[in-house]
Structures are given as structure tokens and as C-alpha cells.
Structure 1
């Protein structure tokens, strides 16, 4: 048997917060700040955003490894944070996240129209998130009520290893019955999510403005001047550079045009792994 490159995309694997719901990715970041504060540890919203895209336990572990946060922990408790301490913060984080995730789960403007356009091109819609299943169940329920019902969902604790591992993206490939990873595009607003898609051998599309790196509400984003938007594009593109996304776009509304470009490249025999 001979290998043949796919000629068209078969699936889009979409992130959740900052990609399809929760413009600005506020739900997880604000709860991290609250969870740390419940242990009398102060972290800023900017610090909380740092490892965004990872599974939430790993996110907290990464935050605790940051020198400035580790120093605050040392001053407060007389020792550096252990894995048991991380688990304690995580267990405080979880009920707060479940209780408040609905406050920041509105579907991003233009997302439903984009997904309808992808389905019109016969693309299946897979999804994954840094949220664990207990939180994802609530997010999925709220999204369904708003009209968003993807074909498959993979939470961070449903695989042996979360982002930037390719496990969640590949779990979607298996569940959706996709023929080739090169027939998939991974769309995300974080570096771990783009690295996940890269490691899975997929096309990758990074979102500049709806997620973690801009960190503004929809109204704040729309208030930016053309000059401010261009400056932010340059800044955010530089932040994404190391993860090597194939495409960078402002929001998910621009995704259908990218799908057409990828299909044209696949038809010419190009593959994402070679780029």
C-alpha cells in the first residue's frame, strides 16, 4: 500500500476558553487568583495568565515554580510549595471554577457563524481544553444552550498527559474517525495549545485577540484604535513565534478563509509536518 497525502481537511480541533467561548479568557485566570488568595497568597491576573492552556493542576504547579511566587510561598509558609501543596490549591480551585465558570462562558461573537461555515465544508468539530472534565461538563452544557454543540470533547484529565502533549488532539482524531492527522487543523489562543497541535502533526492556527495574550473583554477590544490593534498584532505574533503556528489570525471569524488556504496547500501535496 502507498501513502497518499490528504487532499482536504476533515476536522477542526478547537480550544474552548479564549477561542470559542469566554472572550479574553477570564474564567480560568480570575479563579486562579481567588484560589491562591484563599491561602493568603497574592498573584496578579497577569501572573495567572502565564501558563494558560495547560491542564489546571500543571498550571498551578508551573505558577508555584515561578521564582517570585515561590518566594512569596516561602515567606508565608517557611518552605517551597510541594506537589501536595499544589494539590491543595487545585482542590480549592475546582469548586470555585465550577461555581463561577458560567460567569465567563458566553460564545464569542462570530463563533457560531464560523462553525456553521466549517460544517458546510463537511468538517467535523473536535474540541479540547485545559479544563478537567468536571468543569468541562458545565461549559459544554452552557455552550449547548447557546447553540454550540461540537462533535467531540476531550478534557485535560481524560488523557494521561495534557498540553503541550498531543494526547487530547489525538483523542479527537480517534473519536472522530479521521483518516490522517494532516487533515486536521488545531485552533487555539495559547502556546501550549499550538504546541499540542504541532506535536500531533496538525495544521495550527493561533488566535491573537480573543484569548489569553490580549486579555481584554469584547468591548475593550472593540475600543482599540487601528494603531493599537497593529501594535498588539506585532507583540502577540512575537509571543507565539516559538510555538510556530502555521497561521495567525485575529479571531475565529477569520478561520474559514484559512481553511480554504490549507485545502489549497493540501491539494498541492503540502503537509503541516514539513512546514
Structure 2
């Protein structure tokens, strides 16, 4: 019997079914300060000073991985070796993580004000029948503190995945994004949009076969509070916006916008592309 190779010829022409959001720097915490400032404080408890810029470099990873990646930065490694006589070991990462977690649980709500525009954008998605998923580099114990704090401000999602909910691991792998697909009952990966302010978060969406939208001004790449952004000269804001947008675009983000407030136009554009049979 002659067998011909299988060819995938089906094209999806349906609507956007789901948007999967990151949390810090995306839905809440303009500038993404809760993860970074607490990391600075945790390292300081071990006698190691790290800068905010250093703390932001591995942003988007699971927090244990984030701490390990910080320890591998040449500048941080030099300080660690000067103090302890060796590079950071696994047990050192465990110790830092154990010190970090209570601080993160205690302080996450302090930083997690809903980002302007998030509530009307989520409402508009629901009006269109689009499901709202989410995932985070935060572990479950932090998410359990963050979710009711966000709900008290009017922000609720249909599903939330924490980085330690799944055994395969966190970003940049696709697992948290795909867990949302399963839980939300999405039938087509191409109908999903991943929205994130970090490089690992964009890579996560791409690995999951989703459209990806990077956030420049509200997130980790600019790393300023809303008040700080508004106080800058327009030319400086544009310089920082362009630098952040270029970084997110270079790793493959299909679209880059300032913040979640600008998302509806992108959702509409992706819906038109899906209607033409385009895929991410």
C-alpha cells in the first residue's frame, strides 16, 4: 500500500479564544518592583549588595532560578566570592530562597496596585467572550496572597498558574501557558495571546505556539514607577521605551506596546490575522 506523508493543511479562522497574562509589570505593580526590591533585601541579609539593575536581569524566571541566575552574574559572583570564598552553591541558593520567600509573601500586596487600564481591558475581553488566563514567576504561596489583593481592587482572572504548580518547571518553557490552555478549554493554540513584560515570558508564549505581546513602559525593561515615568522628559521616555521595545521584539514578540491599556487594538489586529488563516 502506498502511503503518503501526512500534511497539516487545516487553517484556523476563528476568533481569539484566550489571553494569558503575566502578573508583575503586566496586570499589577507598574515597573515590577515587588520581585526586585525583595531580592535586593534578601541578598543584603547575607551581606551582599546587589543593584536594582542587576536584580532585573533574570526577571521572568521562577524565583529560585532567578536567585541562581543572579549568583552567576560576574559582578554578583565577585562579591559573593569576596565574602564567602567561593561562588554561590546550590545550598546558598536554597538559603537565599528561604530568606526571600517570607519577605515576598509579606510585601507582594504593598507593590501590587493594579496597572491603569487593566480593569477596562479585562472587561472588554470578557464582553467578547475571550477567556483570561495568567501565570507568574511567583510560587503558589505568593500567588495565594496576590490573587485576593488583586480581586479586592476589582481584578480577577479565570485561571492563575504559579511557577511551582507544575513539575516540568517555569519559564522560558511553555508549561504554565499550556496549563492555562487546558484549564480554560481552549481548542486552538493559535487563538491564544501571551502578554508579558519580560524576555522569558515572551519566550514562554512563543514556545507554547501563541501570539506574544511585549509590554515596554509598564514592565521590568524600563523598570520605573508610573510617577517616575510621568516625571521624565518626553524624549527620555521615548528613549527608554524604544530600548525596551527593541529588546522584546528581538526575542520574537509579535507586538510591543506600552502597557495593558494599549492591548485592545492588538487583540483586534490579531483577530483579523486569524480570520485570514494566519498563525503565530
TM-score scaled to structure 1, two decimals? Answer: 0.96
Gaps of 5+ in 1: none
Secondary structure of 2:157's counterpart equals coil
Rg larger in 1 or in 2?
2
In 2, Cα distance between the equivalents of 1:270 and 1:216? 36
- The alignment status of 1:171 with 2:179, answered yes or no, reads yes
Partner of 2:270: 262
Q: Which residue of 1 aligns with 2:67?
A: 60
Equivalent-residue separation in structure 1 for 2:138 and 2:256 (angstroms): 24
1:33 Cα shift? Answer: 0.2
In the alignment, the residues of structure 1 paired with residue 126 and residue 271 of structure 2 have an alpha-carbon distance, to the nearest angstrom, of: 15
The counterpart of 2:98, out of the listed 87, 91, 96, is 91
Shift in Å at residue 125 of structure 1? 0.2
CA distance in 2, matches of 1:143, 1:83: 34
Q: How many residues get paired?
A: 272
Q: Aligned-pair RMSD on alpha carbons? A: 1.2
Structure 2 spans left out of the alignment, 5+ residues:
1-7
Find the partner of 1:126 among 122, 128, 133: 133
Which of 205, 229, 234 is the matching residue for 1:197? 205
CA distance in 2, matches of 1:234, 1:217: 17
Contact map agreement 1:6 1:180 (CA 8 A) in 2: no
- Per-residue CA deviation, residues 246-273 of structure 1 (Å, 9 max, x unaligned), is 000011011001000000000011000x
The CA deviation at 1:231 is: 1.5
State the TM-score, normalized to the length of structure 2.
Answer: 0.95
Q: Which runs of 4+ in 1 moved over 4 A?
A: none
> Which residue of structure 2 aligns with residue 20 of structure 1?
27
For 1:227 and 1:139, locate their aligned partners in 2 and report how far apart those are by CA, in whole Å: 35
Taking the TM superposition and a 5 Å limit, the aligned residue runs for 1:18-167 are 18-159=25-166, 160-167=168-175
* Post-superposition CA distance 1:97-124 (Å, at most 9, x none): 0011111011011110111111111100
Specify the alignment match of 2:220 in structure 1.
212
